[in-house]
Copies of this chain bind each other. A is one copy, B any other.
Amino acid sequence: MAHSLEAMFHPKAVAVIGASDTKSRIGGRPIHFCLQGKFRGDIYPINPNREIVQGLKAYPSIKDTPTPVECAIVAVPADIALGAIRDCIDAGVKSAVIFTSGFAEAGDGGAKVQREMEAMIRESPMRAIGPNCLGMFTVTEGWYATFASAPDTLKVPPGPVGIVTQSGAYGSHVFIAAQERRVGNNYWVTTGNECDVDVAEIIKFYAQAPDVQVIMASAEGVRNPDRMCEALEMARDAEKPVVFQKVGRTELGAQAAKSHTASLAGSDAIYDALFKQYGVYRAETTEEMIDIAYACQFGRRPAGRKLCIQTISGGIGVQMADAAEKFGLDVPPMPEQLQKDLKAKMPFATLRNPVDFSAQTLNEPEKMVENLRRTFTEADYDGTIVYMAGVPGTPLMGAACLDIMRGLRGEFPDELLFMCMAGSAHIVPEYEALQYPCFEDPDGAVRALAALAYFGEVFKHGRGDAPPAAPKDMLPAPDRAVAEHEAKRIIASVGIPVSRESLVQSAADAVAAWRDIGGPVVLKIASPDIPHKTEIGGVILNLNDAAAVSAGYETLIQRAKTAKPDARIDGVIVAEMAGTGVECVMGVVRDPAYGPAVMFGLGGIFVEVLKDVTFRIAPFGVDEARRMIDEIQGRAMLDGVRGQPPADIDALADALARLSVFAHANRDKIESIDINPFIVLPHGAVAVDALIDVPGDGE
């Protein structure tokens, strides 16, 4: 069975409801573009007041068309749009592109009408994009269901890149800028208010479309998180890079998104988690998104991160080596023998890597050829960037450069090589035809090659590993907020190591618990009303004799009563002292859209001052947990600093994955979990304190 969106992307017959004879009007532009683009199917202008529209026979209603309409454009005002959509459904129209604005983005009244529209479409077999969108197009079909000016700015042939954005104006911007960057785009969709089809569904379509290999997407909020996860997973399974610009990154940005109509920006940390989990490349800027998509469209990826930098200018080689370090590529030296051999032939060159073959080499093209040929053959790089400054664009040297590179492509058809050059717009297509992606900015070239390496890794490791199985005797989520002792009992049942301890209600029992533990203990007040124990002096460390333990018990009870007379007091926890290790924190937060996400960070200033934390959506396996651990800025702490032994990463990753399993199993029952501190020892780990909060509860 054909995809339900096929009718929209490849329609045989289309209609424009609200068709205008004036080419520049919203209802006239799609017809004009389709005629200009030689749309192969039938175009039915719908306009009860005209016989002919832009030279085409017009029809009074969508019900009057001679053949069934596969896609109808709705370009009528808001007050009659609902009727037009009803007519489409009744006429068996397969899909609709609804330009009309004045719905959710226009306040409560519009939102109400939009909900009616949604219900009507949901109950029908018709699919729709919009309302309040700039439409979509398929270049190869000559099918332009849009009133954006984008089709006027087509510059490069359609290619394997599919674009989808929520915002119409921004979608236009991306298309125009992508054309200027020579990104071959065939499908373009703006989803607007998303009454039916959303960005995720278009990503799914692209993931399945054989003529899409690279996906560029932008959204402010995601209405259906499960669908977005599915879509990104489909794209990864199909090994199609997704380059995403999700706006609302910083706190300030998120605030602005909240005040923006008809969208929910969600928490940005969740999107970072989502994109990392599904191997999406999150672009920070429009320029970056487009540059990465450009590189991806060539369909080549390096097998690893070893970069060879070949330049006409030593200084730029250094600059690019700097960029390689920044973007995580390696710049290993050329093999020593090769350096020696080439130095003998090119005495002016620097050959370590970056290689500076120097402008002089260009006067002797055979040396340049030998340099690259032997590098491809004898060195083990995953990709090469050749920086030529303005030379390839010059009348004098341009032809020689191109000959060199054409010859090398013949010998090395599969070599991944980027050209970096300035002022070369006129000859770029020739290099691209040889499968050499072209860049003007040296740093941009390095960034793009790193992005290809990233996608290579993403597709290599594929779907995340399975989350650990939940233990059979895993306790249920509590039905109210629980403090340390109970919280640790629950997480222990998930398989997360916790400190040995007892909850006692008398000094005598405290002493007995100390004897039982058989070593120094810590005493902590246990009260659901005192989540921050240290603030009231509710923790006494390192007691190791009966008198001190007994006195400690009384002291804690007294302090709690003084500081919080109304607090419910469960007693005192007597716990073994945790060993020396690296202090970490982990936790769970419930995102309103994506459900529970697991947080990991190092304790102390790493969390409090540097906000050095990372998130993943639950559940996930230990491999994903390891990637979380590797992401944090203070990662080196876990390898042991100041002579400390390395921490047990296995134990840490296992605990994170187990926490994600518990969070997922109780996704509607848990508001948040804090495990802080979680001490990672040289062997093993131990949760020293924990809190579990439930929805609608908390302080």
Contact = CB atoms under 8 A, between A and B. Distances in A.
A585 interface: no
Contacts of A608: 641-642
Contact of A390 (B149, B323, B360): B149
B422 A173 contact: yes
A113 to B, nearest CB: 15
Interface string A567-611: 000000000000000000000000000000000000001101110
B443 A352 contact: no
A319 B247 contact: yes
B610 A316 contact: no
B390 A440 contact: no
A531 to B, nearest CB: 16
A25 B391 CA distance: 14
Contact of A422 (B101, B177, B637): B177
A312 B396 contact: no
Nearest to A257: B318
A55 to B, nearest CB: 20
Nearest to A248: B318
A423 B256 contact: no
A62 interface: no
Interface in A136-158: 148-150, 152-153
Interface stretch (A324-332, A409-417, A660-668): A324-332
B261 A443 contact: no
Q: 10 closest A-B pairs (Cβ-Cβ)?
A: A253-B322, A176-B423, A169-B313, A285-B443, A260-B314, A169-B389, A149-B394, A176-B422, A167-B315, A250-B325
Interface string A264-275: 010000000000
B390 A356 contact: no
B316 A170 contact: yes
Given A167-B314, A250-B326, A393 B220 contact: no
A370 interface: no
A583 to B, nearest CB: 11
A361 to B, nearest CB: 12
Given A149-B391, A180-B440, 4 more contacts: A167-B313, A173-B316, A173-B421, A609-B641
A256 B318 contact: yes
A213 interface: no
Given A170-B316, A322-B249, A442-B286, A106 B348 contact: yes
B350 A250 contact: no
Contacts of A350: 259-261
Contacts of A166: 315
B106 A422 contact: no
B356 A260 contact: yes
Interface of A: 24, 101, 105-107, 148-150, 152-153, 166-170, 172-173, 175-177, 179-180, 218-220, 245, 247-257, 259-261, 263, 265, 284-287, 311-319, 321-326, 331, 347-348, 350, 352, 354, 356, 359-360, 389-391, 393-396, 421-423, 440-444, 605-606, 608-610, 633-634, 636-637, 641-642
Contacts of A315: 166-167, 170, 218-220, 247, 257, 260, 263
B605 A637 contact: yes
Contacts of A360: 101
Contacts of A168: 313, 359
B252 A325 contact: yes
A331 B220 CA distance: 19
State how many copies of this chain the complex holds.
Answer: 2
Contact of A286 (B106, B153, B443): B443
Nearest to A285: B443
Contacts of A312: 169
Given A316-B170, A608-B642, A177 B440 contact: yes
A441 B287 contact: yes
Residue in A24, A389, A636 whose Cβ sees the most chain B Cβ within 10 Å: A389
A680 to B, nearest CB: 15
B642 A359 contact: no
A273 to B, nearest CB: 18
Given A106-B348, A423-B180, A248 B313 contact: no
Contact of A442 (B285, B423, B442): B285
A321 B256 contact: yes
A45 B423 CA distance: 30
A655 B238 CA distance: 60
Given A105-B348, A286-B441, A253 B641 contact: no
A233 to B, nearest CB: 25
A352 B252 CA distance: 12
Contacts of A642: 608
A447 to B, nearest CB: 9
A442 B394 CA distance: 32
A106 B360 CA distance: 12
B287 A443 contact: yes
Nearest to A180: B423
A3 to B, nearest CB: 27
A249 B563 CA distance: 54
A514 to B, nearest CB: 27
26 contacts: A105-B348, A149-B390, A153-B393, A170-B315, A172-B390, A172-B422, A173-B313, A173-B390, A176-B422, A177-B422, A180-B440, A220-B318, A247-B318, A247-B319, A250-B325, A256-B321, A263-B314, A285-B443, A286-B319, A286-B441, A287-B440, A287-B441, A605-B641, A609-B636, A609-B641, A610-B610
